[in-house]
Structure formats: C-alpha cells, structure tokens
Structure 1
Amino acid sequence: MTAALAPGQMLPTLTGLRGFAALAVLFYHIRGGMTGFLPDRVISVLAQGYLAVDLFFVLSGFVLWWTYGKEFRDRGVRAAPHFIVRRFARIFPLHLAVLSAMMLFAAALIVSGRDPGEHYSFAELPAHYLLVQNWGFSDRLAWNDPAWSISTEWAAYLLLAIAGGWLTRLPRGAWSFPLLIIAMAGGLGWWFAATGRASIGDDIPATGLVRCIVEFGIGILLCIWWTAQRERSHGAAIIYATALGLISAAAVLFGVVGSQPAAVPLIMTAVVILALQASTAPRPLLSGRIAIWLGDISYAVYLSHFFLWILFKLFFVDDPERVDPTMILAFTLMTLAAAHFLHIALEVPGRRIAQRVGDRLLAAPRTIVAAGHSES
C-alpha cells in the first residue's frame, strides 16, 4: 500500500508530460520547414507528433476525474453546473482571443485585396467560436486547426457533466478496467477499419469526436482504477503489470492485427500510468521548473503555435520548405515567449473572470429563491 493522495493533488509528472506533448504537436506542424536540414527519418518521427493529441485526451479524462470525481460522487448531477463553468473558464477565453486574432488577420487580407482562401471561411466562423466545429458541422479543418481537439473535448466535458454521477457507481476491480480499456480501444480500431481508415489521424472532421470521447473515457476509467489499486497491498505490482500488459496488447493489435487506431490509446494509457507512478516517487520525473513551466503554458502553446507559424512564415521566411535552423529555433523560442505572455496576461485572468461571472450566474437563482422564501 502506498501513501494516500488527496483528490486533486498536483501530479507533477503529468504537468511536465503535457508540456512536452504540446511541443510535439508544434514540431509536427512545422516539420515541413525542416526538410532542408533534417534527415528523412527524423522528419518521419516528427510526423508522429499528432499522436500527442491522443495523449492529451487520455490525460484530460484522468485529470478531470482526479479533480472533480469526488464532487460527482457527493453531488451527482448537481455537480454539473459548477463543472461546466470551470471548464468553460479554462478553455474559452484563450480560444476566443486566438480565433479573434485570426479573424482580424483574414479580414486584413481581404482589405488588402488578397483572397484568404477556403481555410478562413467566415460562414463557418460561428461554429468555431462556439467550439462545435468538429461535431460534424464541417468536412474539413479550418481557421485554427489544432482547436479541433478542443472542440471535441468540449463535447466530452458536456457528456461527463451528464454522466458523471453514473460513473461513480462503476466497479473498481483490479483486472476488469484494463480489460474494458482494451475492449474500448479494440472497438475504436474496429470502427476505423469498418469505415476504411487506417490511421487514427485520418479524416479528423469525421473521426475526431469519436476518437476523443473514447480516449477521454479511457482516462476517466484509468483514474477510477488507478486510485483504487494504489490502496491495495500489492497495488504497485498490479499497476506496473497492467502497463506492461497494455503495451503488449498494443503490440499485438498493431503488429499482428495491423490496427494502429486500436494500439494508440493503449500505448498512451500505459504512458500515463508510468507518468502517474513517476509522479508519486520521492523525486518525481519531469518536476523541474522548466518542465512544470512548459506544462503550465502548454495550452497557450497548443492554441497559438499554428497561427504564429503562419505569421512567422509570412514575415520572415522565403521558402516554407527550407527554413534555416536558426529560424526554427527563433520561432520555437518566440512561441514559448508568446505562450508565456498569453498564459499570464490572458489565460489566467480570463479564467478567473469567467469563473466569477459563472459563479454569480449559478448563485443568482438561489438568491432569488431565498428572497422569495423570506418574503412569504
């Protein structure tokens, strides 16, 4: 049996892991500019950076249940309004700011007589502002491409708000959850194969929502299972054996069955399990200042880098396919600096303001009811 952890207690390795995952997505999007100086095999590795999104989905499911699971257990569906306010405050302020900047950029192109192209479709803009663009309302990625995953997570949040109370009644058997996770991943792989898609990144507008909900759900189940196993006398052995088992199952699904979409969620789940165990060590992995800082600004890095790369190429790059290494470094440092500024000057203050406004709106009906009782 290991030392008890308080619900919502910081798990530093997860924070650091999130930061490096955001960098993986950044390099995935700018890899085309590095073909002039990096070997093809390195470019091929960077081309797998999109899989960091799958890690984000599993991490998000785990962290949200780690943070709000007790509230759902205690209050059931009554916890949903508070949960939605917190999630809205977390993702919308920065999303709205970056999207509005892109809208002004597209408008400037039009004013200057240039065609912004189909990527900046003003007809689709309302769906992007509401973060529902990847709910089947579009057949392509547009505007801020990485925001597709935030759109699907927003849907997952709403589903969790509805189902959170029910999830608290699920059993916590040592082996039932790993088997369920494997079944969910296998089902996802079957669905991809049945629809003629070989990669988990294929046709994101059509597959991204299902991909997110399954992996987000796996993250929730992992949190319920992991917290239960930590309380067992041989919990650590069960946890490490499960991580090894998931990796083995992923190898079979990918190497034998040939289903990458089924293997990816299992690999990411195993990575999160190992990160969780590292978080509880006396000296947690990825818990240094730089790693935690990267984790703290990861959302800003993720949401801003795509637009910043567009602007960087426009002003500083002659050939987008042959960018000088020093320029790549300059862009990376510029993005980190911009993300830091966005985090402290917009993301955090915007979250606090949105939370205060949301809390007041939630409190208003209770105030009215209380006033009515006092007058009767």
Structure 2
Amino acid sequence: MQLSRSAPLTGIRGPAALAVCLTHAAFWTGHYTDDFAGRLFSRFDVGVALFFVLSGFLLFRPWVRGLRQAQPATKAQPATSAQPATKAQPAVAVYPSLGRYAWHRFRRVVPPYWITVIAVYLIFLVRTDPGQTGQGWASFLRNMTFTQVYGYGHLHTGLTQMWSMAAEVAFYIVLPLVAWPMAALVCRNRWRPDLLLLCLGALALMSPIWTIAVHGAPDIDPTARMWPPAFASWFVGGMVIAVLAELGTRWPWRIWVPVAAAAFLISAGDFAGGPTIIADDAGATVIKHVLYLVVGMGLIGPLATGLTESESGPDGWQRVCGARPVVWFGEISYEFFLVHVMVLEFVMGWLGYGVFSGSFLLVFVVTVAVSTPIAWLLHLLCATPQARARARLWRSSPRDEAGLRR
C-alpha cells in the first residue's frame, strides 16, 4: 500500500486553520492574559507558520525535482574516423513554467480572497462598528492588492487576519526570483543539494536580521515588523524540507511530532514575548519565530519526507493527517481562514458577548460550525479544475480500514 502525498499534506492544513481560529476566539473573549495560559492561547497563531512552511515545501519542490532529474552534462568528444567531433552540452534541467505557475497561484488564491474582501466591505456598509478600521477606497484597494500591511489603518475589521496573505503572496512573487538563480547559476543545472542547503541557510538569516534591524531603528515604520521579510524563514524551512525529501531523508514522527509539541509549549514562556503577534523586543521575536519554525518543520517534515512505500505502511502521523474528515476540512481550510474572522464578529453579537468577554470555547465552536459551510460553498464556487479532480480521486479511491487511500 502506498499513501498519496496529497492526503496528509492537505489534511495538515485543517488543524492549522483551526489553530488560527482558536487564537482569534481567545483574543476576542479576553484570554490573551500575560501569563503562561494567556500566552499559550496567543501562540496558536502558529497555524500561520504551518501554512508558510507548507507553501515553501510545495512550491519549491518542482524546482528541486527539476534539478534532481536533470540530464547530466556531456563532455566534448574529439573527431574520429567514424564520427565527427561533438561539442560539450550543458546539463539540462526542466523547471516550472512561470506562466503556468503564476496562473495557478492566481486562480487558487485570488478569486475566493477577492470575494471575501468585497463581501466584508459590503457588510460594513450596513453594519456599524465603533472600532471599525480600514474604511475608504484607499484601504479597499490595499486589501484587494495584498498591500494592507504597509502602513497603519488598512487592516479592515473582519479581515485583520489577512496580514498573513501579504506575506504569502510576496513569497509567490519572489520564489522564482530566488529559485532560478540557485538552480541555474549556483548549482549550474546540476543536482547539488549541498549548495542548495547552503543558499537556503543564508536566506533563513533574512528574518532575524530584518527583525533586529526594524526593532532597533526608530525612524522605520513600525508596521515593518509584519512585512514579508520578517516571516521569510518559515518559507525557507519548507524549502529545506523539499531538498531533504529528494535526498530520501526520513523524519521519524515519533521524534519530531513531540519535538514540535515541546517547541509550541516552550514558546509560551515570557522569553518569547507577550501575548501579541509581534513582541516589542527583537530578541523575543526571534526566539518565537525560531520556535514556530521548529513546530512547522517538525509537523510537516515527517509528512513530506516519509510518504513512501514501506513494509509497515503509513505511520501514525500520516494516518491522522490523511484521515478522510481531516483531508476534507484541509481542502476548504483556505476558504475557512478567509471567512472565519467576519463570522466571529457576528458570533460575538449573537451570543451577547462584549469585546474581551465570554467563553472562548463556545465562541470557537460556534464560529467553526458557522464558518465551515460558508467555506465549503466558497470553495465549490472557486475551486480549480485540479482541486475538483483531486476531490473526485479522493472520493473514488479504495481505502483501507483507517480511511487512507491505497
């Protein structure tokens, strides 16, 4: 039996989206207290790091495979009496089509995002909120173009989670600009995992350097602490996994999943900052980001590198993330992420809770229950042909007793 890579890697998106929803429910109900419990609630925003690590792996993997499967270079051959001389031929590697890559990213990400942004702005034409932010055409255009994080006041109420989309889209744009020089110029179209890992290690330093620079410069816009370079190391972590996967590296889930859980718990220490997205102290921010990187790589690494034919079959972590309900929710996790904050705004009113009051668990459960069908409908409306084909394959594939595809 062989477990498809797409099942657990899709499934892990579901817990990531639920973690983000949980941390928002805790914030809205006043559970971001500056103690271990409050900081732990705030650390469930680690779901964003999971999404970023996964994106780094999935989108860099075709470049790595292009190098791994490249035809080797040929040497020049002198002329003989039987055949003429031949010229040396460089190594040939097939990389992703940039046009196809750009279209696929646009088709998957932008339509449901635009629908959500427009719907939220329309809702607030009739809904009054004294604390509403991000009003006006300028902020609307910012939200539509993923530039709302560059300056204060553009994150619209009901869309505040979209700061992460600015980083995600920036990575989509930058990836080919980084991947091609590494593959074609540094590796010279040859499979050189040592050089790839060296380059990625250097790129991973971007985030701590950026964090220290923007925290220590009083003249820099404070929103720079949430600009894409601050989170680049999480994407790079996924790119590292892509290289290790082609090397056949195995990440034992019995080791790495507990390591990820431990890193998550440790991140709630006060040395990683208070219950906020970005700590005021540069050192605390770097520590928190490194711990989140460990969480992301620890949970995704075993799924990305261990899905191969083996005598024992899929391991426990693969079975959990590859279970049918988990994968189904993972398929709609992006749409769930888009709509859940606006739904949460309504849920607080329906339950009669004021800001920073109420039961976070009840708010979380009701928000999930309401957001899920909305996300499912939005997914059906905007699903790409590839997503529909993947869903049909999943439904039609034989399953073993645990619900995994054969």
Question: TM exceeds 0.5?
Answer: yes
Which of the numbers 309, 326, 337 marks the counterpart of 1:291?
326
**Quick one: distance in 2 between partners of 1:248 and 1:105?**
41
Matched AA of 2:13? R
Which of the numbers 240, 249, 271 marks the counterpart of 1:221?
240
**Quick one: distance in 2 between partners of 1:120 and 1:85?**
30
Deviation at 1:293, TM superposition (A): 1.3
Which of the numbers 52, 70, 81 marks the counterpart of 2:47?
52
**Quick one: distance in 2 between partners of 1:246 and 1:183?**
23
Partner residue in 2 for 1:211:
230
Compute the RMSD of aligned alpha carbons. 4.2
> Structure 1's 176 and 80: CA in aligned 2 closer, same or farther, altered over 3 A?
closer
Deviation at 1:66, TM superposition (A): 2.9
Which of the numbers 5, 22, 46 marks the counterpart of 1:10?
5
Per-residue CA distance 1:326-370 (angstroms, 9 max, x = gap) = 4542222112222222222x231xx359xxxxxxxxxxxxxxxxx
Question: Is the contact between residue 297 and residue 339 of structure 1 (CA under 8 Å) also seen in structure 2?
Answer: yes
**Quick one: distance in 1 between partners of 2:179 and 2:294?**
23
The residue correspondences of 1:114-193 to structure 2 (distance < 5 A) are 117-134=132-149, 136=150, 138-140=151-153, 142-143=155-156, 144-169=159-184, 183-193=202-212
Larger radius of gyration: 2
> Structure 1's 205 and 145: CA in aligned 2 closer, same or farther, altered over 3 A?
farther
Deviation at 1:40, TM superposition (A): 6.7
**Quick one: distance in 1 between partners of 2:130 and 2:193?**
58
Partner residue in 2 for 1:318:
353
Partner residue in 2 for 1:236:
250
Matched AA of 2:246? A
Partner residue in 2 for 1:339:
375
Aligned-residue sequence identity (percent) comes to 18
Partner residue in 1 for 2:101:
83
Matched AA of 1:236? R
Partner residue in 1 for 2:111:
93
Question: Is the contact between residue 139 and residue 205 of structure 1 (CA under 8 Å) also seen in structure 2?
Answer: no
Partner residue in 2 for 1:271:
299
* Structure showing the higher helix proportion among its residues: 1
Deviation at 1:123, TM superposition (A): 1.9
Deviation at 1:266, TM superposition (A): 4.0
Question: Is the contact between residue 344 and residue 367 of structure 2 (CA under 8 Å) also seen in structure 1?
Answer: yes
Aligned length: 327
Per-residue CA distance 1:93-134 (angstroms, 9 max, x = gap) = 110111011110122247xxx767333343211121122333
Deviation at 1:288, TM superposition (A): 0.7
Gaps of 5+ in 2: 71-92, 273-282, 387-406
Matched AA of 1:275? L
Matched AA of 2:301? I
Question: Is the contact between residue 152 and residue 208 of structure 1 (CA under 8 Å) also seen in structure 2?
Answer: yes
Per-residue CA distance 1:146-189 (angstroms, 9 max, x = gap) = 22222222121122234443343455667666666555444422
Gaps of 5+ in 1: 354-376
> Structure 1's 67 and 339: CA in aligned 2 closer, same or farther, altered over 3 A?
farther
Partner residue in 2 for 1:330:
366
Matched AA of 1:123? A
Matched AA of 2:331? D
SS in 2 for 1:118: coil
Question: Is the contact between residue 207 and residue 231 of structure 2 (CA under 8 Å) also seen in structure 1?
Answer: no
Per-residue CA distance 1:288-307 (angstroms, 9 max, x = gap) = 11111121111011111011
Deviation at 1:238, TM superposition (A): 10
**Quick one: distance in 1 between partners of 2:53 and 2:237?**
6
TM-score by length of structure 1 reads 0.71
Deviation at 1:41, TM superposition (A): 4.8
Matched AA of 2:345? I
